[in-house]
Amino acid sequence: MIVIKFGGTSVGSLENFRKSGAIIESYVKKKKKFCVVVSAMHQVTNKLITVANKASIQDASYLEDVKSLKEGHLKIIQNLTKGKWLEEGITTIEKHFQELESLLNGVFLVKELSPRSSDLIQSFGERLSSNIMTLYMRYKKISCIYLDTRSVIKTDGTFGNAKVNFRKTELLTKKIFSQYSDKIVICSGYIASTENDETTTLGRGGSDYTASIIAYSLRAKSIEIWTDVDGVMTADPRKVKDAYTLPRLTYIEAMEMSHFGAKVIYPPTIQPAFSKNIPIWIKNTFNPDAKGTLIDKKGDSRKLPVKGIPCIEDITILNVVGSGMIGVPGIASRLFRSLADRNINVILITQSSSEHSITFAVTPKDAKLSQEIIHKEFAQEISHKTIEDVYREENLSILAIIGENMKNTPGVTGRLFQTLGRNGINVIAIAQGSSEYNISLVINKHHLTKAINSLHEAFFLSHIKTINIFLVGIGLIGTSLLQQIQEQYEHLIVRNKLKIRVIGITNSKKMIFDIDGIELKNWKDTIENNSEEYGMDTYITRMKEYNLTNPVFVDCTSSLELVHHYEDILSSNISIITPNKLANSSDYTLYENLHKISLKKGVKFLYETNVGAGLPIIRTLQDLIYSGDEIIKIEGILSGTLSYIFNNFKKGTAFSDIVREAQEKGLTEPDPREDLKGMDVVRKILILSREVGYKLEIQDVILKPILPEECFNTPNIEAFYQELKKHDRIMENKLLLARDKRKKLRFIAKLEKKKITVSLQNVNIKHPFYNLFGSDNIVSFTTKRYSQRPLVVKGPGAGAEVTSAGVFAEIISLSSSFIQDNYTYEDEK
């Protein structure tokens, strides 16, 4: 005998009834011996609870709701069957609704809804759906019979969550089934009855339990729970997009998963099956060919330590605190007994080893009552101040990592906390069963989605990591970056196992977001047509609220205003990658603070492109320092524009013409005076000096400008060129003077002995800066190790494409800080 159970969605609509019916028919064809358990149609139990509550407060609108419930059921039978089956169906439904209506009328009149009446009212859901299924199958010429399970499943009188008397239930079930051995028995799920034949229910989601109780009683070969997902998944698929179906679990793992919120199976279901070693399959009505999940004694013997990360979204914790509890035996047992006596389910317990406090979690609806129970139970202790306080903490969630193999795998807890820490998630309470089948954590509800997703990534998806980008600035660099991400997207997934998603894009006018990743093919259209109005505060707030794993703020602007948000962004555990120099070259305290915060929060602040675009200048310098070298001198040509100008400034050409040529080639700032002032170079060498460890400010830099003040005081660019022409002669003289000494003109930034100078110099052929082309940058590091010949980094140091490539490389480099995994399903497939 196989017991097959169809859940609410599997009978939630006409189409779904047909799908479930087709599965039954196929089993008949295959000559399988089976019985069926049916849940109430999707949402019907909830609706019955609502109408009952409405009636109890004399809200007459319940009548309308009942009418539509009835119509819903009638519509199903009318479309599923014809002829005598339809007639019988209509009569059955009418009869049930008459009974239901008169019950509700009673509740309406007495203005009271007892748990007893509530259970009776709820029973209609399953009674109706399983009757419909029976008639539908009969119409399909399948010999079957409806069994109202209230006649076989016997329970105590705990309405709403009745406890099963297995001995009696087994006897009755066996008896009935032996009478119907030639027929397929179609049973109502969820409902049962007391000794006095009063209707009870088995707790919400209890139809799974019904299947297991029947399987237990009949010593069935297996149980099949047909639902709307392919099986038990690594996490709740509504919260974790990448959750995947687990092929096999042990009973204990399944029990832990369901106890901690994996709704796919109702927790009490496991025990009866476990005790008789009956395997449970979870199957998908809407994808019957999928293998499903098998739950049995053996489980999955592979090494994967963690099997799932279930969660309970809403919990409240209660803390019982008091120094008088230390060493006093029996407090905990009294506490939990008093709660159990009132049927309060305690989800998690932790006690500090000092016994100074006991913390436990309950569902929010039980919280107030729990507090009252404790106050009553410990009235004396409270008045004597043995117990000082009993307080509640709300808006919390629990998540658990589950797996029988955790106990054999070191490092699981380390990874757990490392992952949460890196994502800025604070753990409020922890409980680890001594069995080590689960570690459960209480966290703020606000962090739940991020926590499960990041843990899911850490424990299951080491083969693919996701980085979530929030981009600001879509000028040349930003646009080029988006293009590179788009072009490399697939490649990175395959080669680097890295998924780079752009979640937000903004310029200073508009912004767009997509939590699933913006379609980069169309980002220009989207920002043009479907954007929101820009606001930096809104953008940052949204970025924080999304609370995604591995978030990165990429600033491709040169805005000073944005830089003032950096501390806040890093403090919110969001990394920053930027070519914007202003953060690192403004006040030293800001530079220092940003580094401190990023270190403290375990997030990255990366800015290689502040100096020399994509060239590895800052990294090289950091590597030298980290490896213990000592920096003696740094010299550099750090402006691509000025490099171009002096590389092309030859005898016979006017200096002003070369500047204009550079501007025409797009190599200068829109206003070339900005480049010629040399401030950009000043900022770059200042950043390098700070990397070396010097606390220098911009005013400490000695800048000898290339041109006199009057060139820069011009009212506009044209006037500047006019003024510049007047200086062509002086510039040519400088050039010729250098040439005469077989030297070249170079605009060099130098850091030596904690002093920075930026000036135009003559260099001879032996100098590493003598041979330079185009708009190349060059930096030479003279260090203790590189004292004879300096270490030189040289190459294209300007331009949108090389800069964005540098930013892109830093984004990819983030993935190296991710935790490496030892075991994944992927590895073993």
Residues that bind ligand ASP (CB under 6 A): 7-8, 39-40, 45, 125, 189-190, 204-208
Which one among 107, 211, 264, 735 touches ligand ADP, defined by CB under 6 A?
A: 264
Q: Hey, what are 489's tokens?
A: 């997207």
Query: Rule CB under 6 A: is residue 399 a binding residue for ligand ADP?
Result: no
| Count, residues near Mg ion per rule CB under 5 A | 2
What is the enclosing helix (H) or strand (E) of 739? Answer: helix 728-740
Query: Rule CB under 6 A: is residue 295 a binding residue for ligand ADP?
Result: no
Within 8 A by CB and 6+ apart from 535, the residues are: 511
Give the span between the Cα atoms of 222 and 298, in whole angstroms: 15
Query: Rule CB under 6 A: is residue 288 a binding residue for ligand ADP?
Result: no
Q: How far is the CB of 192 from ligand ADP (least distance, A)?
A: 17
**Whose Cβ is closer to Mg ion: residue 228's or residue 661's?**
228
**Whose Cβ is closer to ligand ASP: residue 8's or residue 797's?**
8
Which one among 202, 218, 229, 696 touches ligand ADP, defined by CB under 6 A?
A: 229
Q: Among all chains, which residue has been given the structure tokens 């969820």? A: 190
Q: How far is the CB of 231 from ligand ADP (least distance, A)?
A: 7
DSSP per-residue codes, 35-56? EEEEPPSTTHHHHHHHHHHHHH
Q: How far is the CB of 395 from ligand ASP (least distance, A)?
A: 25
Q: Report the length, in residues, of the chain.
A: 829
Query: Rule CB under 6 A: is residue 205 a binding residue for ligand ADP?
Result: yes
DSSP per-residue codes, 53-114? HHHHTT-TTHHHHHHHHHHHHHHHHHHH--HHHHHHHHHHHHHHHHHHHHHHHHHHHHT---
Query: Rule CB under 6 A: is residue 780 a binding residue for ligand ADP?
Result: no
Give the span between the Cα atoms of 388 and 386, in whole angstroms: 6
Which one among 81, 130, 227, 269 touches ligand ADP, defined by CB under 6 A?
A: 227
Part in contact with ligand ADP (CB under 6 A); list of ranges 147-155, 227-235, 397-405, 738-746:
227-235
Q: How far is the CB of 574 from Mg ion (least distance, A)?
A: 38
Query: Rule CB under 6 A: is residue 724 a binding residue for ligand ADP?
Result: no
Q: Among all chains, which residue has been given the structure tokens 């059955």? A: 92
Give the count of beta carbons closer than 10 Å to the beta carbon of residue 201: 27
Burial of 418 from C-beta contacts in 10 A (0-12 / 13-18 / 19+): middle
Q: Please, which residues bridge with residue 154 across strands?
A: 193
Instruction: Check residue 757 and report its DSSP letter.
Output: E
Q: Based on C-alpha coordinates, what's the Rg of the chain?
A: 36
Give the span between the Cα atoms of 76 and 136, in whole angstroms: 10
Report whether 794 contacts 767 (CB < 8 A): no
Residues numbered 465 to 524 that lie near ligand ADP (CB under 6 A) are none
Which one among 310, 478, 636, 640 touches ligand ADP, defined by CB under 6 A?
A: 310
**Whose Cβ is closer to Mg ion: residue 205's or residue 640's?**
205
Report whether 634 contacts 679 (CB < 8 A): no
Q: How far is the CB of 581 from ligand ADP (least distance, A)?
A: 47
Q: Among all chains, which residue has been given the structure tokens 């990360």? A: 309
Report whether 507 contacts 535 (CB < 8 A): no
Q: Residue with CB nearest ligand ASP? A: 207
Give the span between the Cα atoms of 792 and 624, in whole angstroms: 12
Query: Rule CB under 6 A: is residue 314 a binding residue for ligand ADP?
Result: no
* Residue 232 binding target from ligand ADP, ligand ASP, Mg ion, none, CB below 5 to 8 Å by type: ligand ADP
Residues numbered 6 to 25 that lie near ligand ADP (CB under 6 A) are 7-10
Q: How far is the CB of 93 from ligand ASP (least distance, A)?
A: 17
Query: Rule CB under 6 A: is residue 240 a binding residue for ligand ADP?
Result: no
Query: Rule CB under 6 A: is residue 438 a binding residue for ligand ADP?
Result: no
* Residue 45 binding target from Mg ion, ligand ADP, ligand ASP, none, CB below 5 to 8 Å by type: ligand ASP
* Residue 233 binding target from ligand ASP, ligand ADP, Mg ion, none, CB below 5 to 8 Å by type: ligand ADP
Residues numbered 18 to 57 that lie near ligand ADP (CB under 6 A) are 39
**Whose Cβ is closer to ligand ASP: residue 70's or residue 127's?**
127
Give the span between the Cα atoms of 14 and 75, in whole angstroms: 8
Which one among 163, 263, 276, 564 touches ligand ADP, defined by CB under 6 A?
A: 263
Residue type, 812: I
Query: Rule CB under 6 A: is residue 268 a binding residue for ligand ADP?
Result: no
Helical segments of 388-508, H only: 412-422, 448-459, 476-496
Query: Rule CB under 5 A: is residue 205 a binding residue for Mg ion?
Result: yes
**Whose Cβ is closer to ligand ADP: residue 272's or residue 310's?**
310
Q: How far is the CB of 284 from ligand ADP (least distance, A)?
A: 10
Query: Rule CB under 6 A: is residue 678 a binding residue for ligand ADP?
Result: no
Rounded to the nearest 5 percent, the helix, strand and coil shares of the chain are: 45, 20, 35
Part in contact with ligand ADP (CB under 6 A); list of ranges 51-59, 228-236, 422-430, 469-477:
228-236
Q: How far is the CB of 205 from Mg ion (least distance, A)?
A: 4
CA dihedral (607, 609, 610, 615) in degrees, to 10, reads 120
CA dihedral (323, 329, 332, 337) in degrees, to 10, reads -140
**Whose Cβ is closer to ligand ASP: residue 7's or residue 612's?**
7
* Residue 322 binding target from Mg ion, ligand ASP, ligand ADP, none, CB below 5 to 8 Å by type: none
User: Of 176, 202, 177, 56, which Cα lies nearest the Cα of 123?
Assistant: 202
Q: How far is the CB of 295 from Mg ion (least distance, A)?
A: 15
Report whether 668 contacts 661 (CB < 8 A): no
**Whose Cβ is closer to ligand ASP: residue 8's or residue 636's?**
8
Query: Rule CB under 5 A: is residue 279 a binding residue for Mg ion?
Result: no
Q: How far is the CB of 396 from ligand ASP (least distance, A)?
A: 24
* Contact mark string toward ligand ADP, 638..657, x via CB under 6 A: --------------------
Give the span between the Cα atoms of 295 and 248, in whole angstroms: 6
Query: Rule CB under 6 A: is residue 96 a binding residue for ligand ADP?
Result: no
Q: How far is the CB of 538 from Mg ion (least distance, A)?
A: 40
Query: Rule CB under 5 A: is residue 125 a binding residue for Mg ion?
Result: no
Part in contact with Mg ion (CB under 5 A); list of ranges 70-78, 202-210, 456-464, 690-698:
202-210
Q: Which of 684, 695, 743, 753 is catalytic?
A: 684
- The SS3 call for residue 189 is coil
Q: Please, which residues bridge with residue 245 across strands?
A: 233
Active site residue 753: no
Instruction: Check residue 407 and report its DSSP letter.
Output: G
Query: Rule CB under 6 A: is residue 270 a binding residue for ligand ADP?
Result: no
**Whose Cβ is closer to ligand ASP: residue 73's or residue 450's?**
73
Q: Residue with CB nearest ligand ADP? A: 7
Give the span between the Cα atoms of 267 and 291, in whole angstroms: 22
Which is it for the CA torsion 527, 532, 534, 537, positive or negative?
A: negative
311-321, strands of its sheet edge to edge: 348-351, 357-362, 311-321, 389-402, 438-444, 427-432
Give the span between the Cα atoms of 400 and 549, in whole angstroms: 18
Q: Could you list the residues that contact ligand ADP (CB under 6 A)?
A: 7-10, 39, 205, 227-229, 232-233, 235-238, 262-264, 308, 310
Q: Could you list the residues that contact Mg ion (CB under 5 A)?
A: 7, 205
Residues tagged active-site:
684
